[in-house]
Amino acid sequence: MKFTCHLNQSDLQDYVEKVFGTSYLVSSVTKMHGGTQKVVYKIACSNGFSCVLYVWDLTMNYFSEEIATEDITEQSYGSDLFELNNKYLTQQGIRTPTLYDLNNEKSHYSFDYALVEYIDGQTAEAYFHHPDSLIQDKLFQRLGDLLGSMHANEACTYGKLNHSGTNTANCHLLKMENAKRQLSYASQYVESIRTNHSKLLHALYELESRIEPRSRYGFIHGELGPDHVLVNDHFDPYLIDIEGASFFDIEHEHSFLQLRFGDYYRYLKIDNLDPNRMLFYRFHHHISLISGGLKLLHRGFPDQEFAKGLIHHHSRSTLKFIQG
């Protein structure tokens, strides 16, 4: 077989046998596309079984510079967070691919890796164009129910599960500081953002000033686009890329869902969201996605047109906040 993988062929076979048994012979390894923070391979075995290999290799993370400098309580990368969030979501009945085994020994390799359930299906994004509206209804209603169940898990402090109880300030202030950093970064490279930097900063402070304190937070995914939802043959949605999940304002999640799901957000929306938080987080997302697109563009992300599209779209969307 053609072999391209972080693990050499012998080590991968030994690992698969250790986890599943000697009847599992690796027949093919295929690198899967789309990841910016970890490398993902599909592992097929000769007995018909398939699974996924996750690799947390910081040298292949497009945001490694930020990970190296950000506060540990804000990190959304690493096998430890994946394991913790996988266990928590599973315990709460929130569908996410099963973690079969995690190797974080670093005895033979400098990175952590894991074997995870393979969901045979497409992302939720593919169902935006599905010809059967009844199937769309079924899937997105199920996704709405799944998110409602996840967000209903509450805590009186915000943050990752491994730092629960330590954050007592207002969580939106974290995103306020991040928005200022990302706005400064974007201003270096996007002329329209640089020209309007002071106006955009003023708008950010104005939106933040409208937010009232709160002391209850829901459990959110943190970056839930339709590409982070896998759908099996029974139209059951599964959440993936869960490392950034935490207790936080659910408006942070809903404003991102609104942005990424477009018309299909109607299945996911709920009542009683704080409109001031929704607007503030929407502005933050646009600013952050300009910066994210620039970093992907500068750091050699394979899909350069995608990165350019992020920059252009979210620059226009950001500027709308200061236009009449």
211: CB partners within 8 A, 6+ apart: 170, 172, 274, 276, 277, 280
Collect all residues with Cβ–Cβ distance below 8 Å to 72 and sequence separation of at least 6. Answer: 163
Nearest to 234 by CA among 76, 75, 128, 95: 95
Q: Report the share of the chain in percent with pLDDT over 90.
A: 82
Query: Residue 7 — very low, low, confident or very high, per pLDDT cuts 50/70/90?
Result: very high
Cα distance between residue 69 and residue 66, in whole Å: 5
Task: For residue range 229-238, list pLDDT tens digits in order.
Answer: 999 999 999 9
Q: Does 74 or 108 have the greater pLDDT score?
A: 108
pLDDT tens digits for range 151-205: 999 999 999 998 766 667 789 999 999 999 999 999 999 999 999 999 999 999 9
DSSP letter (8 states) at residue 213: P
Strands 154-155 and 217-220: antiparallel
270 token code pair: 């709920």
Identity of the amino acid at 162: N
3-class DSSP state of 102: strand
Q: Are 275 and 212 in contact (CB under 8 A)?
A: no
Domains of the chain: 9-117 (3.30.200.20), 122-322 (3.90.1200.10)
- Please give the backbone phi and psi of residue 156, each rounded to the nearest 5 degrees, phi first: -90, -5
Cα–chain center distance at 283 = 18
Partners of 30 in beta bridges: 42
Bridge partners (DSSP) listed for residue 217: 155
The residues facing 262 across adjacent strands are none
- pLDDT tens digits for range 118-165: 999 999 999 999 999 999 999 999 999 999 999 999 999 999 998 766
Q: What are phi and psi of 123, to 5 degrees?
A: -80, 165
Q: Which sign, positive or negative, has the C-alpha torsion 52, 56, 57, 58? A: positive
Residue 245, SS3 per DSSP? coil
Report d(CA 183, CA 318) in Å as an integer. 10
Tell me which residue of 85, 318, 55 sits closest to 179, measured CA to CA: 318
User: Residue 242's closest CA among 92, 120, 51?
Assistant: 92
Q: Is this model's pTM higher than 0.85 or not?
A: yes
pLDDT reading at 76 higher than 80? no
In this prediction, residue 71 carries a pLDDT of 57
Q: Are 139 and 231 in contact (CB under 8 A)?
A: yes
Question: Across all residues in the chain, what is the average pLDDT?
Answer: 92
Residue found by looking up tokens 């299909």 in the block:
264
Tokens 């974290």 correspond to 174
